[in-house]
């Protein structure tokens, strides 16, 4: 007999659901915050960059539940958004040299913003739909509902 009881060991069942729900809630709060002013700046970056990163986090929380086809679809969506941010950003940086020193200004491109905004919206909605389909959001009540 072992000093501390049974030597065979036991397997614990640990449920991460509470922590995952908390993370999903926090990510959704971030998304809502950055969507409220996507052209604003937080911590030195435009909010649309933070918005993209937050949607990526939401995607990451559900990705392990997705089918192979869904992962390919969403990875492609993610890469399209990344390329849009890199090659067609809404704000284009310009360095201005003068006798007083260098300064940085940004030129706003409305067409690039509209395209990115639509991509981010579609990316977010598809991630939310897939997370819902795979049981990562509030359960739908069974039955007819109230009406």
Q: What is the pLDDT of residues 101-146, one digit of tens each?
A: 788 888 999 999 999 999 999 999 999 999 999 988 765 656 443 3
pLDDT confidence of residue 11: 55
B/e letters for 18-57, b = 16+ CB within 10 Å, e = fewer, are: eeeeeebeebbebbeebbeebeeeeeeebbbbbbbebbbb
Helix (H, G, I), strand (E, B) or coil at 34: helix
The helix or strand, by DSSP H or E, that contains position 39, with its residue range, turns out to be none
pTM for the model: 0.80
Cα–Cα distance for residue pair 74/81, rounded to 1 Å: 11
pLDDT above 70: residue 24: yes
């Amino acid at each position: 007999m072992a000093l501390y009881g049974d030597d065979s060991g036991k397997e614990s069942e640990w449920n991460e659901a509470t922590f995952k729900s908390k993370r999903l809630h926090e990510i959704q709060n971030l998304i809502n915050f950055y969507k409220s002013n996507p052209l604003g700046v937080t911590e030195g970056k435009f909010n649309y960059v933070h918005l993209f990163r937050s949607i990526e986090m939401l995607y990451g929380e559900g990705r392990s539940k997705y089918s192979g086809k869904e992962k390919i679809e969403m990875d492609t969506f993610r890469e399209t958004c990344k390329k849009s941010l890199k090659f067609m950003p809404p704000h284009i940086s310009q360095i201005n040299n003068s006798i007083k020193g260098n300064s940085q200004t940004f030129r706003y491109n409305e067409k690039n913003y509209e395209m990115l905004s639509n991509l981010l919206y579609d990316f977010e909605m598809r991630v939310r739909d897939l997370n819902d389909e795979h049981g990562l959001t509030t359960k739908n009540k069974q039955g007819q509902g109230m009406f």
